[in-house]
């Protein structure tokens, strides 16, 4: 594509170089100089640890013929030495990256039904369930999320440690879905991704809210900013009209039991239709006759189309909400209750979500991704009545992330568990012992003492072994915070780590 055509995607820009540079042919849009090939357009993204403007020379040496950035002085430094190169000044390079990559791929989201799911907890499970009920209705779909990427029958692990990849990858994946005749795209839409404009030009048709609780204040500074970032998903429903190939109007789906639901409905406005789900408050889609165990969930799904009983292979009553959200999407798409039932009941679990580890040990072991105060409390509350003896929990809190939640998590352990081991969960460059001290402070305010009700063991493998060494028949050990992840970040290194494998190895060590 000629650069001049590509630049039409930007609402505003300034071409600093000679006008003739606008006729340069562009073959790709990239934000990493490592990815630059001949005739690439390089977007100098200002990141948290480095600045893409420092890599302009590297991009030029590899064949880039256009550079987009926000720093006028740094762009102008190259005008005399790179006369045939286009240098484009923009106000927001991340938005520009999204617009340019969407344009280069011919706006793939315009050719798909796009379903976005946001919230603090439950996004991954909800997207898995939506995909399953679409499969049951023979509606081809793709998925981008924390655990997996999926395009039709192809599924592969998301090893990036980012729920939502950068805009360039998002648009590339959407383009692949269009090429493979996929009908619906399901996107986990995080607050980070929305705030960093990764999901611009995704042209959402359905927006889903799971819930909003305390999380990611290290990035958003305030809870209000966090909530505002997530509500942007619902604001996107106001952009453009309904796609002609879809048989339903744009729709905002919110959890009627969440205290912040009204803010998200307000963000959506009156243009889209609204649908609510819940258990406690009045809702369009709701559950009755709920029975939950550590391995299953049963309830009656109540909808405007009628009632149907569900028997899910999911643990925890919070999955009532996740499945209600997914069922609500199915109703909007016109999927029958029988197909919704078949899809929801086909899901045997989500990796790292209330996953039972069984190696013949006399105590129960559960691996879960719970890493927020709210989700940790929920899981412990589920396991408490199902545990005949002691409830033991192993968890940590991420370094260089929300510090305010650390004592909250410690207090939750002291309130809902009998014993805890505080350990590493991606300490990054932060002092691991300082993190554990902050968690422990919350436990101590609730009457716990180090060495009695809790231990502080930075090495996660050793922490798991310490928990198992104390576990007896009838006890439950919850390993929280890592879930499906395949690495633990210590310093700047991603050390290979699989919580499930570590648990199995530790169990075998004790029962050998």
Helix axes of 93-104 and 167-179: crossing angle, nearest 10 degrees? 20
CA pair distance 36, 74, nearest whole angstrom: 19
Residues making up the annotated binding site for ATP are 119-125
CA pair distance 11, 94, nearest whole angstrom: 13
| Residue in the structure block whose two tokens are 């798409």 | 333
CB 466 within 8 A of CB 455: yes
Q: What are 367's strand-pairing partners? A: 355, 479
CA pair distance 459, 443, nearest whole angstrom: 20
In order, the DSSP letters of 366-427 are EEE---SHHHHHHHHHHHGGG-SS-EEEEE---TTS-STHHHHHHHHHHHH-SEEEE--S--
Between the two ends of the chain, the Cα-to-Cα distance in Å is 63
The residues, ordered by sequence, that sit 6+ positions from 337 with a Cβ below 8 Å of its Cβ are 301, 303, 305, 306, 308
| Cα atoms in the 13 Å half-sphere on the side-chain side of 433 | 0
CA pair distance 449, 433, nearest whole angstrom: 16
Q: How many Cβ atoms sit within 10 Å of the Cβ of residue 55?
A: 18
Buried b (16+ CB within 10 A) or exposed e, 182-192: bbbbbbbbbbb
Residue 70: closest CA among 48, 51, 98, 83 = 51
CB 152 within 8 A of CB 377: no
Q: What are 78's strand-pairing partners? A: none
User: Is the Cα torsion angle 216, 213, 460, 497 positive or negative in sign?
Assistant: negative
CB 324 within 8 A of CB 331: no
Residues making up the annotated binding site are 33, 119-125, 162-164, 190
């Amino acid at each position: 594509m000629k650069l001049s055509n590509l630049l039409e995607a930007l609402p505003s820009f300034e071409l600093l170089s000679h006008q003739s540079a606008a006729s340069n042919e562009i073959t790709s849009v990239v934000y990493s100089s490592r990815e630059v090939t001949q005739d690439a357009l390089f977007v100098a993204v200002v990141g948290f640890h480095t600045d893409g403007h420092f890599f302009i020379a590297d991009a030029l040496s590899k064949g880039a013929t256009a550079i987009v950035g926000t720093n006028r002085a740094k762009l102008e430094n190259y005008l005399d030495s790179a006369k045939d190169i286009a240098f484009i000044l923009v106000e927001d390079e991340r938005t520009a990256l999204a617009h340019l990559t969407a344009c280069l791929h011919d706006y793939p989201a315009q050719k798909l039904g796009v379903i976005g799911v946001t919230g603090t907890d439950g996004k991954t499970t909800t997207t898995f369930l939506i995909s399953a009920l679409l499969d049951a209705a023979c509606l081809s779909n793709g998925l981008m999320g924390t655990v997996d990427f999926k395009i039709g029958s192809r599924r592969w692990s998301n090893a990036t440690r980012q729920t939502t990849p950068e805009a360039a990858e998002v648009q590339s994946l959407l383009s692949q879905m269009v090429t493979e005749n996929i009908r619906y795209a399901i996107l986990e839409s995080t607050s980070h991704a929305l705030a960093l404009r990764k999901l611009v030009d995704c042209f959402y048709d359905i927006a889903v809210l799971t819930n909003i609780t305390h999380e990611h204040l290290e990035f958003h500074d305030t809870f209000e900013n966090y909530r505002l970032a997530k509500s942007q998903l619902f604001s996107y429903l106001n952009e453009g009209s309904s796609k002609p190939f879809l048989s339903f109007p744009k729709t905002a789906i919110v959890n009627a039991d969440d205290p912040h639901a009204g803010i998200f409905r307000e963000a959506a406005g009156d243009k889209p239709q609204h649908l609510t789900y819940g258990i406690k408050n009045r809702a369009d889609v709701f559950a009755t006759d709920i029975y939950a165990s550590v391995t299953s969930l049963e309830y009656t799904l109540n909808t405007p189309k009628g009632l149907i009983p569900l028997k899910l292979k999911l643990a925890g009553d919070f999955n009532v909400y996740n499945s209600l959200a997914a069922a609500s999407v199915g109703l909007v798409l016109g999927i029958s209750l029988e197909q919704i039932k078949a899809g929801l009941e086909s899901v045997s679990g989500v990796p790292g979500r209330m996953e039972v580890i069984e190696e013949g040990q006399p105590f129960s072991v559960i691996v879960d991704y719970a890493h927020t105060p709210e989700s940790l409390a929920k899981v412990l509350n589920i396991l408490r009545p199902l545990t005949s003896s002691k409830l033991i929990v192993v968890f940590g809190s991420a370094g260089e992330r929300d510090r305010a939640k650390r004592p909250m998590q410690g207090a939750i352990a002291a309130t809902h568990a009998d014993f805890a081991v505080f350990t590493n969960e991606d300490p990054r460059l932060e002092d691991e012992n300082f993190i554990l001290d902050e968690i422990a402070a919350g436990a101590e305010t609730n009457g716990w003492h180090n060495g009695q009700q809790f231990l502080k063991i930075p090495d996660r493998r050793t922490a798991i072994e310490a928990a198992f060494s104390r576990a007896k028949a009838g006890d439950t050990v919850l390993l929280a915070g890592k879930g499906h992840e395949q690495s633990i970040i210590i310093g700047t290194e991603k050390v290979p780590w699989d919580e499930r494998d570590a648990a199995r190895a530790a169990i075998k060590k004790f029962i050998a």
